[in-house]
Amino acid sequence: MTGGPASGAGWVRQLAFGVRLAFRGGATGWTRVALTATAVGLGVAFLLLAASVPNLLSARDARESARVDYLQHLERRGDDTLLLGFVDTQFHGIRIRGRLLQPEGPAAPVPPGLTALPRPGEMVVSPALAALLSAPGSELLRTRLDYRIVGQIEDEGLSGPGEFAFYAGSDRLEGWSGVQRLNAFGDPTPGDGLSPRLMLLVIVAFVVLLTPVVIFIAAAVRFGGESRDRRLAALRLMGADRRMTRRYAAGEALAGGLLGLAVGVVLFLAGRQLIGRFTLWDISVFPADARPSLPLAVSIAGAVPALAVTVSLGVLRKIAVEPLGVVRRSAQGRRRLWWRLLLPFAGLALLAPLFGGRADTDGQLARVQVGGGAVLLLVGVVTLLPWLVEAVVRRIGGGGGVSWQLAVRRIQLDSASSARLVSGVAVAVAGAIALQTLVAGVESVSVQDTGADLHRAQVNVVLSEGATFAEAKKITSRFAATPGVRSVTGTATSIGLVAGTDQDVPFIMGACPDLREMAEITRCRPGDVFITEHDPESSDAPEPPRPGQQVTVEDATWTIPATVTRVKGRRSPDGGVWRGAVLATPEAAADLAAKPLRLSLYLGLDRSDPDAVELVRNTAAEISPLTQVYGIQEVQVDDKFAGIVRGILVGTVAILLLIGASMLATTLDQLRERRALLAALTAFGARRGMLTRATLWQMAVPVALGLVPAVLIGTGLGLALLAMLGLPLHVSPANLLVTVSAGAGVVALVTLASLPVQLRLMRPEGLRTE
């Protein structure tokens, strides 16, 4: 026995003895410590990753901000100016950022990540693009980017290691439409950041993802609890008093916590090296950017061991460690409900003042309120669960099969353990439901239906630098001859000015079949002109120009003929509608037909041929590298919103897997504790299926019960967040079902994964006592 019970030095020695105790006990002891450390380590690694997100985002933002090239539109060339064309493209769904560069003087700026500007015919590429270009199956892309590779873009010029990007040199950008002149890269003003709605989503996402991690860590430090209790009882037999046993236990928990912390740091550092190799939904991260913020890292380093000790001592309060064994304090009576309701109600009380859209304006305070309210509501699931499990299983009789009876009796005997086992899943499901409800609400304002009709066309090609009508016909023919292209319609467009007014008027030129794609035209012959009506619901729209009025288009003046016909606008294949626009056949405006107008083509493709769109992009690049090729989409998603939703998806999956791992470890721990009993039941001839079903029921019953408060509180939190944003309240039963099923699926997976160990523990070797 180490140290006297009263002295301060003895206190420290007892704590240190507890630490040493954790590593004793042979293979079983080491297994227990390793299990705890691994589980705590996983949680710590996750927390460190979350603590790195601020640095990760700011480093990424800083690099993206430093390469901003769309803000300057200089008029005059100089020694320090650079012409820049945007030549972004895609290849089989991979987005490639591309820029054409043409220096106008020796002091032209060089983009971040490049040491020198590439010369005409040369390009500098990102490592990811270099790998893609040299990979088999990239022939079409190599044809499109037919430049000689002379170097790689360094890290400071990329948003992430997986970004596909290139800078190519050119000598043909002078005078091209859409080309910008600049003398510096970078955005001198801070970015617009996230909107309050998206910020709210991020805060809630963090709370939802991190609360289960903390619960996971709390569960992990309890591994091997029963054998620890037996050890402490043995120490009591040797003369340790209750205080000393508490210090031994604290020391033991501290060892698990500290080792877990170390494992977590190692896992984080190792994971950080791997993180750069993966790109998920266009997001890739430089390992060097994943640096935890110092205050958060210090908080984690202090909080995890403290949590381990607190949880361990909390457990000891519920038992009496006596020299002859451990006695569970059963005189605690039934669990009370009232204080368990305090947490969720306190959470609601924090959120309630923000209802009605005030979250948009209240800034920092609102964020704290939202975060705190969400935490309290979610932790409410954890506090409610033991009461609910106890209240329900108390009423369940021991009827049914033997497996059911074994499971129910086990839960009745220790409902707290059962509730604890599934509290992580319940909180994760509650959080996921809240997030889904919120996402569905925000989605209604961030995701817009474009009105596109993919049956008419799938690709829109835009030639900004323009083409005369004769050239446009040739270009159209080239696209029509491209393999995989089924149909091509297109128009030349410009914005004219009604003479004598400051009224803009869209001017669209095309052959009759092409104009029919833009308006509801029944009869059309060469030489006809049409004007589309304004949106009847828009009261402030100016009247369309009248016959006889003159319109100036591309410096040429043209008179609207008396024969003009008013028609209703029709949605173009990409969903846009021209209102109050002049639609003219080339024969009606011969002067304008000779002017280079912006060309917009709609292409219908063979949708069974994945190379069709790539061939179109190659044709476009041959015509002009600045030609833009857009895939027509039925919905348009705010980029930032889409990024957050992806992040939430990744996080939710990771959390559910983490919790599944925790449940598996806890289940295996419990199975190991019952090794002798399992073997004895097998000796009796118990069927393995029966014992396996008992394990399944033992987890399924608390999970089913845990999902009830999870659904209620998750939905409540989601609706509260919607109310705060002033968005319509709506709950999607389909989303609920998916989330609840995912939670239940984790349980099924854990049971399945624990089967091999359970079957092994049922072997008669468990009966050996010598």
Partner 1 sequence: MTGEAPLLSARDLHKTYGPTPALDGVSMDVRAGEIVAVMGPSGSGKSTLMHCLAGIVRPDAGELRYRDRNLITASDAERSALRRREFGFVFQFGQLVPELTCLENVALPLRMEGVRRGEAERRAAHWLDRLDVADVAGKRPGQVSGGQGQRVAVARALVTDPAVVFADEPTGALDSLNGELVMRLLTECVEQSGTAVVLVTHEPAVAAYSHREVVMRDGRIRTSAGMVQ
Among 398, 526, 610, 745, binds partner 1 (CB under 8 A): 398
Q: Write down the least CB distance from residue 237 to partner 1, Å.
A: 16
Please give the full DSSP string across 244-290, using - where no structure is assigned.
HHHHHHHHHHHHHHHHHHHHHHHHHHHHHHHHTT--BTTB---GGG-
Q: Which stretch binds partner 1 (CB under 8 A): 229-237, 404-412, 436-444, 605-613?
A: 404-412
Element (H, E) at 459: strand 459-467
| Closer residue to partner 1 (CB): 690 or 748 | 690
CB 23 within 8 A of CB 30: yes
Q: Write down the least CB distance from residue 336 to partner 1, Å.
A: 24
Please give the full DSSP string across 615-677, using - where no structure is assigned.
HHHHHHHHH-TT-EEEE--SEEE-HHHHHHHHHHHHHHHHHHHHHHHHHHHHHHHHHHHTHHH
Q: Write down the least CB distance from residue 728 to partner 1, Å.
A: 49
| Beta-bridge partners for 322 | 325
Among 279, 405, 450, 464, binds partner 1 (CB under 8 A): 405
| Closer residue to partner 1 (CB): 136 or 399 | 399
Check binding of 737 to partner 1 (CB under 8 A): no
Check binding of 75 to partner 1 (CB under 8 A): no
Both tokens of 565, joined, read 């016909």
Check binding of 320 to partner 1 (CB under 8 A): no
Residues 207-266 that bind partner 1 (CB under 8 A): none
Binding map of partner 1 across residues 412-451, x = CB under 8 A, - = no contact: xxx-------------------------------------
Element (H, E) at 505: strand 504-509
Both tokens of 585, joined, read 């056949």
| Closer residue to partner 1 (CB): 315 or 402 | 402
Q: Which stretch binds partner 1 (CB under 8 A): 183-191, 294-302, 405-413, 662-670?
A: 405-413
| Closer residue to partner 1 (CB): 247 or 410 | 410
Q: Give the three-class secondary structure for 328.
A: strand
| Closer residue to partner 1 (CB): 474 or 687 | 687
Q: Write down the least CB distance from residue 664 to partner 1, Å.
A: 22
CB 174 within 8 A of CB 289: no
* Amino acid code (one letter) for 323: P
Check binding of 329 to partner 1 (CB under 8 A): no
Check binding of 105 to partner 1 (CB under 8 A): no
Residues 670-729 that bind partner 1 (CB under 8 A): 676-677, 680-687, 690
Binding map of partner 1 across residues 627-666, x = CB under 8 A, - = no contact: ----------------------------------------
Choose among 36, 671, 38, 45: nearest CA to 312. 36
Q: Write down the least CB distance from residue 697 to partner 1, Å.
A: 12
Number of residues that bind partner 1 (CB under 8 A): 27
| Closer residue to partner 1 (CB): 337 or 676 | 676
Check binding of 365 to partner 1 (CB under 8 A): no
Classify the C-alpha dihedral 144-149-155-157 as positive or negative. negative
Choose among 201, 192, 200, 207: nearest CA to 362. 200
| Closer residue to partner 1 (CB): 735 or 758 | 758
Residues 129-188 that bind partner 1 (CB under 8 A): none
CB 740 within 8 A of CB 761: no
| Closer residue to partner 1 (CB): 294 or 676 | 676
| Closer residue to partner 1 (CB): 601 or 678 | 678
CB 245 within 8 A of CB 690: no
User: Between the CA of residue 216 and those of 39, 46, 220, 435, what are the distances in Å?
Assistant: 8, 11, 6, 20
Residues 739-768 that bind partner 1 (CB under 8 A): 764, 767-768
Burial-class residue 81 by CB neighbours within 10 Å (0-12, 13-18, 19+).
Answer: buried
Contacts of 286 by beta carbon, 8 Å cutoff, 6+ apart = 59, 155, 160, 161, 276
Among 106, 399, 500, 536, binds partner 1 (CB under 8 A): 399
| Closer residue to partner 1 (CB): 191 or 323 | 323
Q: Write down the least CB distance from residue 693 to partner 1, Å.
A: 12
- Cα–Cα distance measured from residue 366 to residue 591, given in angstroms and rounded to the nearest whole number: 61
Q: What does the binding site for partner 1 look like in residue numbers (CB under 8 A)?
A: 328, 398-399, 402, 405-406, 409-410, 412-414, 676-677, 680-687, 690, 764, 767-770
